[in-house]
Structure 1
Amino acid sequence: MAVEWAPPAYAGFAGREGFDTPTVVALLVAAPVKAAFLWLILRAPARGPLDRREKALRGVLYLAVADSLVLWYPIALLPDAVDTAFQLALWAAIDVLFLLVIRWRSGMLRAAAGAMFAVELVVMTDDLLDDLDLPELGAGGIVAPILMLGGVAGILITVIGQWRDGRWSRGTLTAGWLSVGVHALVLPLDILLDTTPGDGLAVSVLMEAVTLVSTVWIAATAREMPKEDRLADLPPARQRAIRVAVAAVAVLPVIAQIHPEQAAHLTHTGWSMDCYDRPSFGDLKPEERDAAFLCLARSRDGGVPPIFPDSLSDQGVLSYARALCRAKDRDEQTAILTRAGSARPAWGADPWDLVYVCPEIIGATHPELLRSTAEKKAAGDAYLAERNASCRDPWPRTKGVVQATATYFLFADGDAGYLVHDPGDPAAGEAAERATDKVYDDSAGIGVARSAVLIGHVEDVIDLCLTVKALRTAPPRRTAGWDQVNEVPIVSRSGRLTVPEMGDGEVGAGAPMPNLAIAGKGRYRLRVYVRVGEAGEEHLVVVFPGASRKRVELKRWTAR
Structure 2
Amino acid sequence: MIGDAWLWVAVEWSPPSYGLPFTDQEFDTPTTVALVVAAVVKAAFLWLILRAPAPGPMDRRTKALRRLLYLTVAYDLVLWYPLALLLDTVVAAFDLALWTSLNVLFLLVIRWRSRALRATAGTMFALELAGMADALLDELDLPELGSNDAVGFVLALGGAAAIVLTVVGQRRDGRWSRGTLVAGWAFVGSFALMISVVALADMLFSGGLVEGIALDALGLVPAVWLAATARELPTDIGPADRPPARRRELRVAMAAVALLPIVALVHPEQSAHHSFTGASPPCYDQPHFGDLKPSERDAAFLCQARIRYSGVPPIFPDTLPDQAVLAYGRALCRAKDREEEREILTRAGSERPDSGMDPWDLVYVCPEVVGATRPELLRSAEEQKAANDAYIAEANARCRDPWPRTKGVAQATANYFLFVDGDPGYLVQDPGDKAAEQAAGLAMDRVYDDDTLIGVGGSAVLVGHVEDVSDLCLTVKAFRAAPPRRVAGWDYVNEVPIVSRSGQLTVPEMDGGDVGAGAPMPNLAIRGKGRYRLRVYVRADDSGEQHLVVVFPGASRKRLQLKP
Superposed counterparts of 1:412-423, under 5 Å: 412-423=420-431
Rate the CA distance shift 1:338–1:186 in 2: closer, same or farther, 3 A: closer
Q: Does the alignment pair 1:305 with 2:313? A: yes
Please name the residue that 1:552 is paired with. Answer: 558
User: What is the CA–CA distance in structure 2 between the aligned matches of 1:396 and 1:471, rounded to whole Å?
Assistant: 14
Within 5 Å, which residues of 2 pair with 1:84-233?
195=143
Aligned to 1:415, the other structure's residue is in SS state: coil
How far apart are the structure 2 equivalents of 1:366 and 1:331? 21
Q: Distance in 2 between matches of 1:259 and 1:454?
A: 62
Alignment of 1:358-437 (within 5 A): 358-437=366-445
Q: 1:209 to 1:246 in 2, by over 3 A?
A: farther
Contact 2:142–2:272, Cα closer than 8 Å, also in 1: no
1:506 Cα deviation after fit: 2.2
The alpha carbon displacement at 1:404 in A equals 1.0
The verdict on how the C-alpha distance between 1:543 and 1:186 changes in structure 2, with shifts beyond 3 A counting, is same
Asked if the contact 2:282/2:307 (under 8 Å) is kept, the reply is: no
Change (3 A) 1:381 1:487: same
Aligned ranges for residues 236-385 of structure 1 at < 5 Å? Answer: 254-261=262-269, 263-266=270-273, 268-270=275-277, 275-385=283-393
Pick one of 543, 547, 551 that aligns with 1:543: 551
Q: Report if the CA contact (8 A) 2:455-2:462 is conserved.
A: yes
Q: Deviations over 1:63-96 (max 9, x none)?
A: xxxxxxxxxxxxxxxxxxxxxxxxxxxxxxxxxx
Unaligned runs of at least 5 residues, structure 1:
1-98, 110-148, 150-159, 161-168, 221-228, 230-234, 237-242
Q: Contact (CA 8 Å) 2:143, 2:273: kept in 1 or not? A: no
* Residues 1:505 and 2:513 aligned together: yes
Partner Cα distance (1:394, 1:193) in 2? 62
Q: Which amino acid aligns with 2:498?
A: P
CA distance in 1 between partners of 2:141 and 2:385 (Å): 43
Change (3 A) 1:245 1:212: farther
Which AA in structure 2 matches 1:268?
S
Deviation at 1:324, TM superposition (A): 2.6
1:389–1:451 CA distance, 2 compared to 1 (3 A): same
The one-letter amino acid paired with 2:485 is R
What is the distance in 1 between the residues matched to 2:430 and 2:344? 54
1:534 is matched with: 541
Could you tell me how far 1:424 is from its partner in structure 2? Answer: 2.7
Contact map agreement 1:193 1:204 (CA 8 A) in 2: no
Deviations 1:186-235, CA, capped at 9 Å, x for gaps: 75798999958xxx999777667777879999xx9xxxxxxxx9xxxxx9
Q: 2:499 maps to which residue?
A: 490
Does the 8 Å CA contact 1:404/1:467 hold for their aligned counterparts? yes
Deviations 1:350-386 (A, max 9, x none): 3333333333333333333333333333332233233
Equivalent residue of 1:308, what SS?
Answer: coil
> Are 1:409 and 1:509, in contact at CA under 8 Å, matched by a contact in 2?
yes
Q: Which amino acid aligns with 1:332?
A: E
**d(CA) in 2 for partners of 1:502 and 1:378?**
15
Call closer, same or farther: CA 1:191–1:335 in 2, change over 3 Å: same
2:523 is aligned, of 493, 515, 525, to 515
**Against the structure 1 CA distance between its residues 377 and 201, is the aligned structure 2 distance closer, same or farther, given a 3 Å change threshold?**
closer
CA distance in 2, matches of 1:215, 1:374: 48
Alpha carbons 1:409, 1:510 under 8 Å: kept? yes
Normalising by structure 1, we get a TM-score of 0.56
Partner of 1:121: none
Q: Deviations over 1:450-497 (max 9, x none)?
A: 43332233444433221101223321222333322213132141x332
Pair 1:453-2:456 in alignment = no
Q: Which residue of 2 aligns with 1:23?
A: none
Q: Which moved more, 1:297-306 or 1:471-480?
A: 297-306
1:270–1:300 contact (8 Å) kept in structure 2: no
Percent of counterpart pairs with the same letter?
Answer: 56
- Structure 2 CA distance, aligned partners of 1:378 and 1:207? 48
CA contact (8 A) 1:189 1:207 kept: no
Contact 1:176–1:214 (CA under 8 A) maintained in structure 2: yes
Secondary structure in 2 aligned to 1:489? strand
Which amino acid in 2 is paired with 1:531? V
Deviation of 1:542 after TM superposition, in Å, equals: 1.5
CA distance in 1, matches of 2:132, 2:366: 39
SS at match of 1:419: strand
Q: Determine whether 1:467 maps to 2:460.
A: no
TM-score, with structure 2 as normaliser: 0.55
CA contact (8 A) 1:403 1:468 kept: yes
- Partner of 2:328, secondary structure, is helix
8 Å contact from structure 1 (residues 479, 485) kept in 2: no
Change (3 A) 1:311 1:175: closer
Partner of 2:24: none
Inter-CA distance 256–497: structure 2 relative to 1 (3 Å threshold): farther
Question: Is there any run of 5+ residues in structure 2 with no aligned partner, and where?
Answer: 1-40, 51-94, 96-105, 107-115, 166-173, 175-240, 243-250
Distance in 1 (alpha carbons) for counterparts of 2:436 and 2:371: 44
CA gap of 1:334–1:178, structure 2 versus 1, over 3 A, is: closer
- The alignment's C-alpha RMSD in Å is 5.6
CA distance in 2, matches of 1:264, 1:422: 59
- Structure 2 residue identity aligned to 1:484: V
Distance 1:503 1:183 in 2: 52
